[in-house]
C-alpha cells in the first residue's frame, strides 16, 4: 500500500524552527517528485514547496522562500521540510504529497502551531 506519514509538527514560538518529516512506503520513493502543501483548518489549500526525484531541483512559494528548505533522503525514503523563522501565519496542517500526474497520494498531515 502506498503510504505517506508526516511527523514533526507541534507548538513553536514565533521566530522558532521545526523540521517536518514525511516517511514514504509502498512505492519507489526515489523515482517521484514530492511536494508540501499546507492548509489552515477551515480554509483552502496552499502549495508550499516541491523537490524533484534526486533532490537537485527545488521550488518554493514566495511566502516561505528563504525561510523553509525542502530536502529528501532517498536511502531512508523520507522527505523533509526545515522551517525557520516561523511566523504566526505559518500555522497550518502540513501535508506531503507524491506526484503521479499531479498530487495523487497525500499523507494525513501534521499540525504546526506558531504562537507565543
Partner 1 sequence: DIVMTQSPDSLAVSLGERATINCKSSQSVLYRSNNKNYLAWYQQKPGQPPKLLIYWASTRESGVPDRFSGSGSGTDFTLTISSLQAEDVAVYYCQQYQTTPLTFGGGTTVEIK
For partner 1, the binding residues (CB under 8 A) are: 35, 37, 44-47, 50, 59, 61-62, 95, 100-109
Our CB check for partner 1 shows the closer of 27 and 47 to be 47
Our CB check for partner 1 shows the closer of 46 and 113 to be 46
Least distance CB 5 / partner 1 (angstroms): 11
Q: Decide if 58 contacts 66 (C-beta within 8 A).
A: no
Q: What's the gap between Cα 10 and its chain centre?
A: 14
Give the DSSP per-residue string, 56-91.
S-EEE-TTTTTTEEEEEETTTTEEEEEE-S--GGG-
Least distance CB 61 / partner 1 (angstroms): 5
The C-alpha atoms of residue 72 and residue 81 are separated, in whole angstroms, by 9
Nearby residues of 78 by Cβ (< 8 Å), 6 or more positions away = 21, 22, 23, 24, 72
Least distance CB 14 / partner 1 (angstroms): 24
Our CB check for partner 1 shows the closer of 11 and 59 to be 59
Grid coordinates representing 95?
A: 501535508
Least distance CB 74 / partner 1 (angstroms): 21
Our CB check for partner 1 shows the closer of 9 and 107 to be 107
Amino acid at each position: 500500500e502506498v503510504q505517506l506519514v508526516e511527523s514533526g509538527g507541534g507548538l513553536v514560538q514565533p521566530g522558532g524552527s521545526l523540521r517536518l518529516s514525511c516517511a514514504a512506503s509502498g512505492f519507489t520513493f526515489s523515482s517521484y517528485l514530492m511536494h508540501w502543501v499546507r492548509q489552515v483548518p477551515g480554509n483552502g489549500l496552499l502549495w508550499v514547496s516541491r523537490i524533484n526525484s534526486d533532490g537537485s531541483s527545488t521550488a518554493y512559494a514566495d511566502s516561505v522562500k528563504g525561510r523553509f528548505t525542502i530536502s529528501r533522503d532517498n536511502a531512508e525514503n523520507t522527505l523533509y521540510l526545515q522551517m525557520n523563522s516561523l511566523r504566526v501565519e505559518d500555522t497550518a496542517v502540513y501535508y506531503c504529497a507524491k506526484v503521479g500526474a499531479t498530487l495523487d497520494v497525500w499523507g494525513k498531515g501534521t499540525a504546526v502551531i506558531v504562537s507565543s
